[in-house]
Amino acid sequence: MNSTFATHEALLQSGIINADETTVSDINPERIGVMIATGVGGLETLEGQIEVQLNKGSKRVSPFLVPMMMSNAASANISMRYKFQGPCETVITACASSTHSIGNAARLIATGRCDVMVAGGAEAPLTATGIAAFRNMTALSTTDVSMPFDAHRDGFIIAEGAATLVLEDMEHAKTRGATILGIIMGAASSADAHHITAPAPNGIGALTCMQLALDDANLSPQDIVHINAHGTSTPLNDAAEAEAVSKLFSSNRPPVTSIKGAIGHALGAAGAIEAVACILTNQKRTIPPTIGLKQLDPEFDMDVVKDEPREFTPGNIISNSFGFGGHNGSLIIGPSI
Alpha-carbon gap, residue 59 to 52, rounded angstroms: 9
Q: Give the ranges where the chain is alpha helix by DSSP (H).
A: 2-14, 43-56, 65-69, 73-82, 97-110, 128-136, 170-175, 204-217, 235-248, 260-263, 270-284
Catalytic residue among 88, 95, 114, 278: 95
Give dist(CA 320, CA 332) in Å, integer: 9
Q: Are strands 256-257 and 224-228 parallel, antiparallel or unpaired?
A: parallel
Whole-number Å distance between alpha carbons of 37 and 170: 23
Distance CA 312, CA 226 (A): 9
Active site residue 100: no
279-282: Cβ within 8 A, 24+ apart? 279/181, 279/182, 279/333, 281/226, 281/228, 281/314, 281/317, 282/182, 282/314, 282/315, 282/317, 282/333, 282/334, 282/335, 282/336
Cα R_g (the chain), whole angstroms: 20
Angle between helix 73-82 and helix 2-14 axes, rounded to 10 deg: 40
Task: Name the catalytic one among 209, 230, 278, 327.
Answer: 230
Q: Is 172 an annotated catalytic residue?
A: no
Q: Which residue in 114, 209, 226, 265 is the catalytic one? A: 265
194 included as an active-site residue: no
Active site residues: 95, 230, 265
